[in-house]
């Protein structure tokens, strides 16, 4: 297993400082929250940087530019169903995906994260599933002829592992894998330990965080989630993918400002869990 952290932990930190921080704390990669809209971009968003500069920053730090984590999804309905096609892009989400994949390819970034998201309740499920599957397949094919891979994350109608795995199997393309967010799984009523097992060989990334009894984000290891057991389960699966720690300072400004300390403590804790043999 390899560890990374999300730039949500340090939203005002420039990219070169982010890469340097990752290196000093022992992280092997950085997960970068990314937006097409310039007004929403974090200081570290590669979409605002020259691609060669991004590649150089990470190369100098000895850290992998792991993922562009986007909010792209493919569920948008065409309404009304027939005449609506004149105004609504039937491939909604696909051009946005291509823009992120192009950026990832130019910057040496391994993954682009996307969502299937919410299927409309007022529409027959077969219709909406066909739309999401077709769009996701087209989006995934934008990775063809690159080293970038698309990761679809559990959320909305695909928040549970079984639904996410079914969607991946329907698309059935080699450039598509799963990113599993334990918070989204818990919110959907799923045990993450069961979820990672259900995803099996489709799993490429696991996103972890910790919360207190009221569901508020806290530093890793100071909350209620049995994360050490999750690591043991992944060890038993011989999982050799990525673990991304999310400390959502960007969404929760009240959290501690000293990202250096928070991320260093989290890295030390994760390495201690990784070092334990499976089943211990």
pLDDT tens digits, residue range 126-178?
888 999 999 999 999 999 999 999 999 999 999 999 999 999 999 999 999 99
Which pLDDT value is given to residue 111? 98
Which phi and psi (to 5°) does residue 39 adopt? -70, -15
- DSSP alpha helix (H) spans, 1-84: 15-25, 51-61
pLDDT at 103: 96
**pLDDT tens digits, one per residue of 54-88:** 999 999 999 999 999 999 999 887 665 555 454 45
Phi, psi for 69 (deg, rounded to 5): -90, 110
Measured CA to CA, the distance from residue 46 to residue 35 in angstroms comes to 9
Mean of pLDDT over the chain: 92
CA dihedral 42, 43, 44, 46 (to 10 degrees): 80
Identify the three-state secondary structure at position 205: strand
Residue 279 has pLDDT above 80, yes or no: no
pLDDT tens for 204-242 read: 999 999 999 999 999 999 999 999 999 999 999 999 999
- Which CATH number describes the domain made up of 2-274? 3.20.20.150
Q: How confident is the model at residue 109 (pLDDT cuts 50, 70, 90)?
A: very high
165 vs 196: CA distance, rounded Å: 10
Token duo for residue 89:
């892009």
Nearest to 109 by CA among 161, 169, 64: 64
Buried b or exposed e, range 221-241, using 16+ CB within 10 angstroms: bebebebeebbbbbbebebeb
Write out the H or E segment, with its range, that includes residue 217. Answer: strand 217-218
Domain boundaries of the chain, sorted by first residue: 2-274
What is the per-residue pLDDT for 142?
Answer: 97
| pLDDT exceeds cutoff 80 at 121 | no
Contacts of 199 (CB under 8 A, 6+ apart): 161, 164, 165, 178, 180
């Amino acid at each position: 297993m390899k560890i990374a952290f999300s730039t949500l932990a340090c939203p005002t930190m420039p990219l070169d400082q982010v890469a340097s921080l990752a290196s000093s704390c022992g992280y092997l990669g950085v997960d970068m929250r990314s937006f097409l809209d310039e007004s929403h971009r974090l200081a570290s968003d590669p979409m605002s940087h020259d691609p060669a500069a991004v590649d150089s920053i990470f190369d100098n730090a000895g850290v992998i530019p792991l993922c562009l984590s986007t909010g792209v999804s493919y569920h948008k309905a065409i309404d009304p169903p027939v005449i609506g096609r004149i105004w609504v892009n039937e491939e909604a989400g696909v051009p946005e995906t291509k823009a992120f994949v192009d950026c990832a390819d130019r910057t040496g970034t391994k993954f682009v994260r996307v969502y299937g998201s919410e299927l409309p309740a007022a529409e027959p499920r077969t219709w909406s599933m066909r739309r999401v599957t077709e769009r996701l397949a087209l989006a995934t094919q934008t990775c063809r002829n690159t080293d970038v891979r698309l990761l679809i994350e559990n959320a909305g109608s695909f928040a549970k592992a079984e639904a996410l795995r079914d969607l991946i199997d329907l698309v059935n393309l080699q450039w598509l894998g799963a990113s599993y967010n334990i918070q989204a799984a818990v919110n959907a009523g799923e045990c993450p330990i069961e979820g990672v097992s259900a995803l099996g060989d489709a799993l490429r990334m696991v996103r972890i965080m910790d919360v207190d009894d009221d569901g508020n984000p806290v530093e890793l290891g100071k909350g209620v989630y049995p994360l050490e057991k999750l690591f043991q389960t992944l060890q038993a699966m011989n999982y050799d993918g990525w673990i991304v720690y999310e400390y959502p300072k960007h969404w929760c400004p009240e959290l501690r400002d000293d990202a250096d300390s928070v991320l260093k403590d989290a890295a030390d804790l994760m390495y201690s869990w990784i070092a334990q043999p499976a089943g211990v």
